[in-house]
Amino acid sequence: MRARVEIRFRPGVLDPEAAAIARALGHLGFAGVRGVRRAKVLEIDLATEDADAARAEVERMCEVLLANPVIETYRIELLDRG
Amino acid sequence: MRARVEIRFRPGVLDPEAAAIARALGHLGFAGVRGVRRAKVLEIDLATEDADAARAEVERMCEVLLANPVIETYRIELLDRG
């Protein structure tokens, strides 16, 4: 089955890349940009078809590799294999 | 209003970072990982409350800055300001 993980900075954590994008958009004439936030999505194809096992496995992946829990939060969603 | 843009590589474009993540997960003992794909999400707060204007503006942003149409595709979604 397929899992989708969305990883983003916790509120209040500075994101220089998002700030640079917002600034660049302003310089390019997009005057209506009030703010930009960024997130990272990982879609992971898993051998298991058991939703509980898949969620538990992806949670462990987030804890050990995919996310930095000090500054990031993550949200796991299970998808039918697309 | 808020726009959410999801940018990902076109099918067939090599993504070394996604491949590295898949490999690292395997090394960490996650044997059930069949593949990893990556996407980037940008949430952009816009001054306009007109959905058509917002979509057109964000499409222009994608064309001139946010995406590389040679190797990436993007999908724009308009959200209520959250």
- Alpha helices (runs of H) in B1-82, residue ranges in sequence order: 16-27, 51-61
pLDDT band at A81 (very low <50, low <70, confident <90, very high): low
Domain count of the fold of chain B: 1
CATH label of the domain that carries residue B43: 3.30.1280.10
Q: For position B80, what pLDDT does the model report? A: 74
- State the average pLDDT over residues A55-65: 97
State whether A38 and B42 contact (CB < 8 Å): yes
Strand A72-79, strand A2-9: pairing: antiparallel
ipTM of predicted complex: 0.90
pLDDT band at B21 (very low <50, low <70, confident <90, very high): very high
Measure the CA angle with vertex B8, ends B18 and A27; round to 5°: 115
Residue B69 Cα, gap to closest chain A Cα (Å): 17
Per the rule left: phi > 0, alpha: psi between -120 and 50, beta: everything else, A12 is: left
Asked if B59 and B12 touch (Cβ cutoff 8 Å), the reply is: no
Asked if B61 and A30 touch (Cβ cutoff 8 Å), the reply is: yes
Full-model pTM: 0.91
**Which residues on chain A are in Cβ contact (under 8 Å) with B43?**
36-39
The whole domain housing B61 covers 2-79
pLDDT band at B81 (very low <50, low <70, confident <90, very high): low
Task: Tell me the pLDDT tens digit for each residue of A4-34.
Answer: 999 999 999 999 999 999 999 999 999 999 9
The b/e string for A8-26 (b: 16+ C-beta within 10 A; e otherwise) is bbeeeeebeebeebbebbe
pLDDT band at B38 (very low <50, low <70, confident <90, very high): very high
| Three-state SS letters, A29-45 | CCCCEEEEEEEEEEEEE
**Which residues on chain B are in Cβ contact (under 8 Å) with A33?**
44-47
Measure the CA angle with vertex B6, ends B22 and B12; round to 5°: 50
The mean predicted confidence, pLDDT, of chain A is: 96
